[in-house]
Structure 1
Amino acid sequence: MRHTLFDGQRDVIILLARILLMILFVMSGWSKLTGFEGTVGYLGSLGAPAPTLAAAVAVLMEFFVGILLILGFYTRPLAFLLALFVFGTALIGHPYWNMVDPERSANMIHFYKNLSIVGGLLLLAVTGAGRFSLDRR
């Protein structure tokens, strides 16, 4: 069996990773929840179908699923579901290929940041929440 530097800290690192991955979502989801009408208006301006429903889904996914993932509750399926959501928001919210600079450059960065987050979420879906989670109970 091969040992690494982090073997004894695996569960602590997974907990830290869950928290760090979800900070953005919980903060963004809270902002969308407390400024719901503004969120609906913004999503409408992007051309999102059913902007009120889209805003509700965004709040649900970002705020509530974010909190559940911090707590480590149904981590594998929720991390996978959030990965799909983030990929969809990358396609809808940051279509840099249809833009010109400087808007293109900024949205290209956001698009690829979203893809990086998808990677982290897929890794979390595979590894699970670790020992410090509600999934372990």
Structure 2
Amino acid sequence: MSALIDSITGSRAFGFLARTILTSMFWLSGIAKLADFNAGIAEMAHFGLEPPALFNIATAVTQIVGSVLIIANRWTWLGAGMLAVFTALTIPIAHTFWTMQEPMRTIEFHVVMEHITVIGALMVVAWKSSKAPVVPAQ
């Protein structure tokens, strides 16, 4: 059974599917920001990002380019880094749970924990895509 699982999870198709699913929240959001540009601008304005049109473009480009780099498995570390930094920056901009009253405080806290988990997943992608040999801790 182990050999079957290894052959599935070690396949190129599995890797492609895994990278596509992991990044789907980013590239879908980026496409949506470009497809409904006015809604993207309104979202940026809602969070006080000025000029909102420029932030909408920068956000969409970051989300799409970072995703493409990961999905293509080329410069994966850069794509993962782009999306991890982007995700970390959304916390103090859009998910300020510490300023909220209950029940929103708890809801946004859980969103932040999910963001931190996604950052961890992106770190794993960067780590596993590295061609460098693993050096045991001393």
Normalised TM-score (structure 1):
0.79
Q: Which residue pairs with 2:51 in the alignment?
A: 50
CA–CA distance in structure 1, aligned partners of residues 126 and 83 of structure 2: 10
Q: Which residue pairs with 1:125 in the alignment?
A: 126
The range that moved more, 78-87 or 14-23, is 14-23
Percentage identity across paired residues of the two chains: 24
Q: Work out whether residues 91 and 111 of structure 1, in 8 Å CA contact, stay in contact via their aligned partners in 2.
A: no
Deviation string, structure 1 residues 13-69 (Cα, Å, up to 9, x no partner)? 543331221111111111111111221122111112432221111101122321332
CA–CA distance in structure 2, aligned partners of residues 21 and 94 of structure 1: 21
In structure 2, the gaps of 5 or more residues are 132-138
Q: 1:53-72 alignment to 2 at 5 Å?
A: 53-72=54-73
Q: Which residue pairs with 1:101 in the alignment?
A: 102
CA drift of 1:126 comes to 1.2
CA–CA distance in structure 2, aligned partners of residues 111 and 20 of structure 1: 20
CA–CA distance in structure 2, aligned partners of residues 61 and 127 of structure 1: 21
Q: Work out whether residues 96 and 108 of structure 1, in 8 Å CA contact, stay in contact via their aligned partners in 2.
A: yes
Secondary structure in 2 matching 1:100: coil
Moved over 4 A (4+): 4-7
Q: Which residue pairs with 1:84 in the alignment?
A: 85
Secondary structure in 1 matching 2:10: helix
Deviation string, structure 1 residues 54-110 (Cα, Å, up to 9, x no partner)? 111110112232133212221112211211111111221111111112322221121
CA–CA distance in structure 2, aligned partners of residues 87 and 48 of structure 1: 16
Q: Which residue pairs with 1:133 in the alignment?
A: none
Question: Once superposed, what is the RMSD of the aligned Cα atoms?
Answer: 2.2
Task: Report how many aligned residue pairs link the two structures.
Answer: 127
Q: Work out whether residues 32 and 55 of structure 1, in 8 Å CA contact, stay in contact via their aligned partners in 2.
A: yes
Q: Which residue pairs with 1:10 in the alignment?
A: 10
CA–CA distance in structure 1, aligned partners of residues 130 and 54 of structure 2: 29
Q: Work out whether residues 66 and 79 of structure 2, in 8 Å CA contact, stay in contact via their aligned partners in 1.
A: yes
* Corresponding letter in the other structure for 2:48: G
Higher RCO (C-alpha 8 Å, min separation 6): 1
Normalised TM-score (structure 2):
0.79
In structure 1, the gaps of 5 or more residues are 131-137
CA–CA distance in structure 1, aligned partners of residues 125 and 101 of structure 2: 35
Larger Rg: 2
